[in-house]
C-alpha cells in the first residue's frame, strides 16, 4: 500500500467516523424533539388500524446486507381471495395517508440510525427483491448506508422515475460529505413542509421496480 493509499484510507475513516457521530447526535436530538408527535401518531394508528402500530420489513443496508427497518404502519393487511395483498390504493387509510404526507411514518427509522443500520442521509432502502434487478452501476447505491432522506428525495421524492432516482443515488455515493448532508437535511424540511412528491403520478406510493428498461 502506497503513502497515497494510506492517506486516502485515513481520510475515508475520518469521514465515516464523523458521519457516524453526526448520525448519533442528530438522531438522538430528533427523537427527543419528535417524541410527542410519535406518541400521537402511535395512538391514532392503534385506534384506527389496531395492532401492530409499527411496520417491520427487511431491507438491504450497506453492501446489501439485510436489516429490519421500522416505520409507522399506514396500511391495512387487506388480501384478495387468493391471499395476495390488495393494491396500496385500497389498503392505505385516511390517517395513514396524512401520516405519509407529513413523513411522520419515518420517525421510527431514527432507531435504525442509532443502531447503525441506517444514516440520516443516504439512498433510501428499497426492497430486497430488487437487488437481482439492478445493473452494476445501480447496485453501487449500496456502497453507503441507506438513509432516512437523500439526494434523490430532495430532487422530487416519489415523483421521479426509477432511472432518475438511481442516477441521483449514485451521484450522492460519489460526492457525499458532511456539508452535503447538512444541505440535504435542510432541503428535506422544505420538502416535508411543501408535502410534494409523496406518491408517483397515478399511484398511491411508488410503482414496483421491474428492472432496467430494454
- List, for residues 68-108, the tens digit of each pLDDT value: 999 999 988 878 777 787 777 778 889 998 999 889 999 99
Which helix (H) or strand (E) is 60 found in, with range? strand 54-60
Any domain includes 210: no
Query: Higher confidence at residue 7 or residue 120?
Result: 120
Under 8 Å between Cβ of 200 and 192: no
**pLDDT tens by residue, 41-56:** 999 999 999 999 999 9
What integer pLDDT is reported at residue 174 of this predicted model?
A: 94
Q: What are the backbone angles phi and psi of residue 14, rounded to the nearest 5°? A: -65, -40
Q: What are the backbone angles phi and psi of residue 115, rounded to the nearest 5°? A: -70, -20
Any domain includes 86: yes
Any domain includes 128: yes
Residues 6+ apart with CB under 8 A from 74: 45, 55, 92, 93, 95, 96, 97, 99, 100, 105
Any domain includes 143: yes
Residue 214 has pLDDT above 50, yes or no: no
Any domain includes 173: yes
Q: What's the Cα-to-Cα distance from 214 to each of 105, 135, 210, rounded to whole Å?
A: 35, 12, 11
What is the reported pTM? 0.87
Any domain includes 64: yes
Any domain includes 208: no
What integer pLDDT is reported at residue 167 of this predicted model?
A: 96
Domain that holds residue 176: 14-194
Any domain includes 200: no
What integer pLDDT is reported at residue 200 of this predicted model?
A: 56
Amino acid at each position: 500500500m502506497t503513502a497515497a493509499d494510506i492517506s486516502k484510507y485515513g481520510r475515508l475513516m475520518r469521514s465515516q467516523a464523523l458521519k457516524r457521530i453526526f448520525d448519533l447526535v442528530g438522531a438522538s436530538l430528533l427523537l427527543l424533539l419528535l417524541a410527542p408527535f410519535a406518541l400521537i401518531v402511535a395512538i391514532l394508528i392503534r385506534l384506527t388500524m389496531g395492532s401492530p402500530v409499527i411496520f417491520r420489513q427487511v431491507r438491504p443496508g450497506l453492501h446489501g446486507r439485510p436489516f429490519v427497518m421500522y416505520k409507522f404502519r399506514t396500511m391495512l393487511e387487506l388480501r384478495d381471495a387468493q391471499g395476495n395483498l390488495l393494491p396500496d390504493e385500497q389498503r392505505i387509510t385516511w390517517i395513514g395517508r396524512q401520516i405519509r404526507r407529513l413523513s411522520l411514518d419515518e420517525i421510527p427509522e431514527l432507531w435504525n440510525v442509532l443502531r447503525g443500520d441506517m444514516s440520516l442521509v443516504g439512498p433510501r432502502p428499497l426492497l430486497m427483491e430488487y437487488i437481482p434487478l439492478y445493473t452494476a452501476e445501480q447496485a453501487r447505491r449500496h456502497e453507503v448506508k441507506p438513509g432516512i432522506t437523500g439526494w434523490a428525495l430532495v430532487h422530487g421524492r416519489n415523483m421521479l422515475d426509477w432511472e432518475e432516482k438511481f442516477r441521483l443515488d449514485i451521484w450522492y455515493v460519489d460526492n457525499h460529505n458532511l456539508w452535503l448532508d447538512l444541505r440535504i437535511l435542510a432541503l428535506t424540511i422544505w420538502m416535508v413542509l411543501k408535502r410534494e412528491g409523496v406518491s408517483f403520478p397515478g399511484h398511491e406510493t411508488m410503482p414496483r421496480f421491474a428492472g432496467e428498461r430494454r
